[in-house]
Structures are given as structure tokens and as C-alpha cells.
Amino acid sequence: MFLQHLLPPGAYWDSSLLTDRILHALMSSHHKYLPAPNYFKCVQREMVPYMRRIVATWVLEVCEEQRCHKEVFPLAMNYMDRFLSVEPTKKTHLQLLGAACMFLASKLKEMIPLSAEKLCICTDNSITSQMELLVLNKLKWDLASVTPLEFIDNFLSQLPIRRERCMWTGIFFFFFFFFTNFY
């Protein structure tokens, strides 16, 4: 299949996951993992949307530098937004939150996850296990999120055009739009 090279080692492409039934299941369950759309107004007192954008850019840079699996970044951002939807957070803790969410997403999606030592270097030794536990508790240990990336393979399989050529362009514009214009 055209996305086989994106799978982690040992994983096999399963075209049976590109059915309408799977798409409907994704669409019916994704709302459970959406952050509150107004958390900057209702929950957060110190933070404003541009601060989230700065941390999102930093998380993306770390994911690219560390060559994380393609699902780590959107999953980390989902965790961060869901956390910020329920827990007032100081702006001085935002990078720590981003690092903890990236650490959790990496543990879930990577065969060899990011090491705490690497994240300590990226955050000037500010990552702590307490933040990781706080995130887990606020998310009620529910880390099996449905992210926009889950839909892309299904949508691309429905297109009647040559998929290899349009795949990266579509993914880039989708994520650029979603993550930079979230608020």
C-alpha cells in the first residue's frame, strides 16, 4: 500500500482498516477526545492562544529532531489541549506540560520512546514525573485518542488520484491549518 513506508518496523499495512465502517467508528468516537473549544476563556487565566502556538511549534521541532513516529506530535497536542481544557495552568509550566505530553505520546506510539534524558536536555532539566502523573490523572488515564491523522489514510484511500504524489502535500496543509488555526 502507498503508506507502508510510514509504518513502524514490524507493522503491516491492513487495507481492511480503510472501510466505511471504520470511518464511521472514528467519526462517532472522536468527539470523546476533543478539548473544550473555549478553554482559553473558561479555564485558563494566564495563558493566551499564541502561547499554545509557541509550545506547539517547539513540540513539533523536538519531534522532528528526535525523528518521532508521525503520530506522536498530534497525539501530544491532543493530550495538551485536553489537559488545558480541565486544569488551569501557569504559563511558566506550559513547556513542561508540552514535554510531558510528548513523553506520554512517545511511550504510546514508539517502539523505542523518547528518553527522559533527551527531554531533559530539550527542556533545560524541567521535565518531572509529577507532571506526567498529573496529565495522566486529568485525562483519567485515557490516552487512546482519535486524532486528525487517524482520518487521513481513510480519506486518501477514497481519492481517485495518484496517492503518493498528493499524500505529503495534503498532510502538510491539513496539519498546518489544524494546528496553527486551532483558535
Spatial distance between the Cα atoms of 156 and 154, rounded to a whole number of angstroms: 6
Contact yes or no for 100/132 (Cβ under 8 A):
yes
pLDDT tens for 66-118 read 888 888 999 999 999 999 999 999 999 999 999 999 999 999 988 888 877 77
Query: What's the gap between Cα 149 and its chain centre?
Result: 9
Q: What is the pLDDT of residues 24-41, one digit of tens each?
A: 888 888 778 888 888 888
CATH of the domain at 89: 1.10.472.10
Q: Return the ∠ at Cα 138 (arms to 145 and 94), rounded to 5°.
A: 90
Assigned domain for 154 exists: yes
pLDDT 10s digits, 134-166: 999 999 999 988 887 777 777 777 777 654 555
Q: What is the pTM of this model?
A: 0.76
Please count the structural domains in the chain: 1
- Of 29, 17, 12, the residue nearest 145 (C-alpha): 29
Q: Is residue 126 part of a domain?
A: yes
Does some domain include residue 25?
Answer: no
- 3 within domain boundaries: no
42 located within any domain: yes
Q: Is residue 46 part of a domain?
A: yes
Check: CB of residue 109 under 8 Å from CB of residue 143: no
Domain that holds residue 117: 36-180
Q: Is residue 27 part of a domain?
A: no
Per cent of the chain over pLDDT 70 is 74
